[in-house]
A and B are shown apart, each in its own frame.
Chain A
């Protein structure tokens, strides 16, 4: 099995993110490997451990290779960083364009990605890569069984009010949801090794991509402005004793908030 996992280093959920200017954000320098990408790496490793083959982690990033090092520490065989100044300011379709160009012609069986990256929360790159490669996708899988001889995967995904079990021919691209796997914590030795591991770098020219197809010029959506989340009015604490407080709450919900 030839497995590729798309990964990204993103601000930690605890990181402070603030609006700095109309179209500029200030992000605290506290990053981690996207939660859902680690789930994808783990799922990919399980498949490789069962059926053999090779797992390659792939990331588009001009600054950070940490997600790739994390993948290596967890057990990935290889890591590739697509990096090019022209990629700065790309939208998810630009990122997908670069990833797909790299994957095109490679002998992949399975491509895994996280359900979404915890920065722009778009959930777009994986599916756009599947589209560019012309392979089936399933978004947000909860389970994964691979049949390498029949060349099919059986997966489950959540739907409103239940689950759906699907079979998809390989090669396929699957985005991974919480619950699919529990990412292993790499051993210190492997973390050390990953720090020194060779990460292959690839630029746009070698992928045959015209810089105008990506970056702000290629973007299909533009940020007009950022703004902080709308503030809720200060909390109104209901300080009466029980059970009057419950009665007051019900009255406020009916008469003031008008939500019941």
Chain B
């Protein structure tokens, strides 16, 4: 099969994102099936650590190391990647459905005049190298399985936690240093500042475990008990539209239709009634736990385990129980 399978190995502050390693692990299986080499694309500045972490994950590692690439901008990343695509003609190009992926891939696909599937929740490849992408539509009310035209590369963005991370110690990527050519003539965007969110938790869209509360928490300060539970589970804290609209929580933590889709291994909902807006965002979570005082709450229709009860009693007890169990391990 001609062409290579490529993964955009997105890094933030010199660290390769977990989603990139997930995609490279899936890419390794695809490459084995089609006999194509697996390539990782790494763009940034001072990439020694990132380079090393990628060695057991790919056959080829293409690196653009330039101060101008330190912070992502479509103005610099897009022409750099497009030029290498034209030169090497890869057959597949995958990336994570992150803030960077969503800013870059649609435009890159338009630029290359090739097919693109956003926000995929499953990917497979056929023997002839054709990619088959599964993605939710209408917020998850239906799913579609899509195939690509003959244009190459076949591009897709994939949600976090769709694949597991599986390095291959026998693999040792050959490193190719790609020169970065700055297009100084073009009017460019400038990143003026990057502000860190006050909490250091992983974004809910990338987290393996998410615990959330809705209006049932009654007051913004009561989120303290949810935060304590999250700390024990090393989880991120999500919420519903209602609490965001009340100004209790930040928009970045909102799960659902006007917020984010999450794909956690474990999602726990406390005092969340289960409005359609919300449950559409949790459809691809592996295990869902719901705790609500109303036995008829809709959320129980979307859960694996349910408890009817008072969250103010259950959450602290759960935190204590987990502290015991998880340290006993």
Contacts and interface: CB of A to CB of B under 8 A. Distances in A.
Interface of A: 11, 13-19, 25, 35-36, 92-93, 96, 118-124, 127-128, 130-132, 136-140, 142, 154, 157-169, 177-179, 219-230, 232-233, 235-238, 242-243, 245-247, 249-250, 252-254, 257, 259-260
Given A247-B321, A249-B289, A160 B99 contact: yes
Ranked 4 nearest A-B pairs via Cβ: A220-B115, A128-B110, A124-B106, A259-B266
B193 A165 contact: yes
12 contacts: A96-B110, A118-B138, A127-B107, A136-B189, A161-B12, A161-B197, A162-B196, A226-B137, A226-B142, A226-B144, A233-B304, A250-B318
Interface stretch (B32-40, B51-59, B61-69, B307-315): B307-315
Q: Chain B's interface: helix, strand, loop or mixed, by majority?
A: mixed
Interface in B184-198: 187-197
A159 B101 CA distance: 11
Contacts of B196: 161-162
Given A229-B141, A259-B286, A260-B233, A253 B314 contact: no
B273 to A, nearest CB: 15
Interface residues of B, number: 90
A67 B192 CA distance: 35
A257 to B, nearest CB: 4
A229 B118 contact: no
Contacts of B195: 162-165
Interface of B: 12, 71, 74-75, 98-100, 102-103, 106-107, 109-111, 113-119, 132, 136-149, 151, 187-197, 200, 202-203, 205-206, 209, 233, 251-252, 254, 257-259, 265-266, 276-277, 280, 283, 286-290, 300-309, 313-314, 317-318, 321-322, 325-326
A230 B106 CA distance: 27
Nearest to B235: A260
Q: Chain A's interface: helix, strand, loop or mixed, by majority?
A: mixed
B81 to A, nearest CB: 13
Contacts of B326: 260
A12 B304 CA distance: 28
Nearest to A161: B197
Contact of A232 (B100, B265, B304): B304
Contacts of A230: 143
Contact of B116 (A124, A130, A160): A124
B314 A227 contact: no
Given A226-B142, A233-B304, A132 B318 contact: no
Contacts of B146: 221-224
Contacts of B308: 237
A226 B206 CA distance: 26
B142 A19 contact: yes
B276 A169 contact: no
B317 A242 contact: yes
